[in-house]
Amino acid sequence: MTNWFTGVFDSLLWPILGFLFAPTTLLWYSVVAVVYNGTWGTFQIIVLILAILTDVSPSTSKKRRRQSA
């Protein structure tokens, strides 16, 4: 285990909820907080949107569902 989230979040609740419901977004938010010192520019926002889309997208495609049915 690392102390990557130390100082990024005030409580332990947000990392746990983020890990369960939006892990890619949680990791990118942490990268911006640690590596970019919390500075949100155009690049960081674009990657954040991609991370959110990745988290909310379905894990299986419609094509796979049709083949198994």
Residue 67 lies in a domain: no
Mean pLDDT within 7-15: 81
For residues 28 and 60, give the distance between their C-alpha atoms in angstroms, rounded to a whole number. 23
Query: What pLDDT is stored for residue 42 in this prediction?
Result: 97
Q: How far apart are CA 32 and CA 48, in angstroms?
A: 9
**64 within a domain of the structure (yes/no):** no
Q: Which pTM was predicted?
A: 0.75
Domain membership flag for residue 37: yes
Residue 47: domain span: 1-57
Number of domains in the chain: 1
User: What burial letters (b/e) apply to 7-22, b meaning 16+ CB within 10 Å?
Assistant: ebbeeeeebeebeeeb
Q: Is residue 32 part of a domain?
A: yes
Q: Give the pLDDT band (50/70/90) at residue 67.
A: low
What does the pLDDT look like over 13-63, one tens digit per residue? 888 888 899 999 999 999 999 899 999 999 999 999 999 999 999 876 565
Both tokens assigned to 16: 């746990």
Residue 66 domain flag: no
Residue at 68 is within a domain? no
